Structure 1
């Protein structure tokens, strides 16, 4: 179980438990996806103060190193009238190369962060808690090579009141996922 990895991500202010018993801590699309994902047993959830969901505040209060925390950003772009979306996973120490790597991978003229209301509506998740687990079918999940190689990482749960813990390499196993070597910028 991933909760065995909890000591690797910081002091034990977080009570990690199986996602199977933590449904109230998961956004509905996340819970639905985990119910059918063979790797779900390798994912743990912990309740947090929703006021501390933003990465910097979370890492500081809970003692989780930024290099053990990964952010999910929803990016959008358009080509020939077709709107495309993708989720990008980068370490909290980095930022996604939206107008370089992401734009090329989406094959759009210009890529930008999706507006908050649009990201929330399309994902069925809370802003500040969006995760690549349980995204709409067909969305690419672009995982930076740094996240995939990080070992245990803390990510969103779809809600601001909890976080997930899993090995970053598992994110490359999500539907539509691709590990991208040059996705991150420092």
Structure 2
């Protein structure tokens, strides 16, 4: 699993980032390129607003999943069955067009002596979601982070999402969704566990 983690290199450090002014100037260039006047009243503060919103939308670059997942709990009274957190909403951005991806993640694992706080799973989804992404990479990254930190018997991740780069431009097919899955450990080797994961997802949906 270490190889999987290394295949998703850490983003450049903050020291490599342009200044706030440089970011705002870049937005002004884009506004002019689109045919707008960045000095008109309605757009005068837009570059600063866009730079601020981008810092929030891409805040995942400032966070590390291993820091969020660092604390685990061993007092589980022998519990070793599936833990599933489903329908975790997320917003991301397509790395090809920088257009939103909107969807839900479903994450399960089979404990091996330790469990995670449930909110940490949702936070990991947010960390990887708040970066420029492909859905395939994001699915694998979530599974790899949990597998590497918790060392469970297996991890299962499914993501269902709508890509606005497909809805707003190109083929313009609104409402089309993409589904991706990643399985590790027992979930990968045992088709019965995969089937159980899918059954749990369909329960009370």
Normalised by the size of structure 1, how large is the TM-score? 0.28
Structure that is richer in helix per residue? 2
Normalised by the size of structure 2, how large is the TM-score? 0.26
Structure that is richer in strand per residue? 1
Bigger RCO of structures 1 and 2 (CA < 8 A, at least 6 apart): 1
Structure whose CA Rg is larger: 2
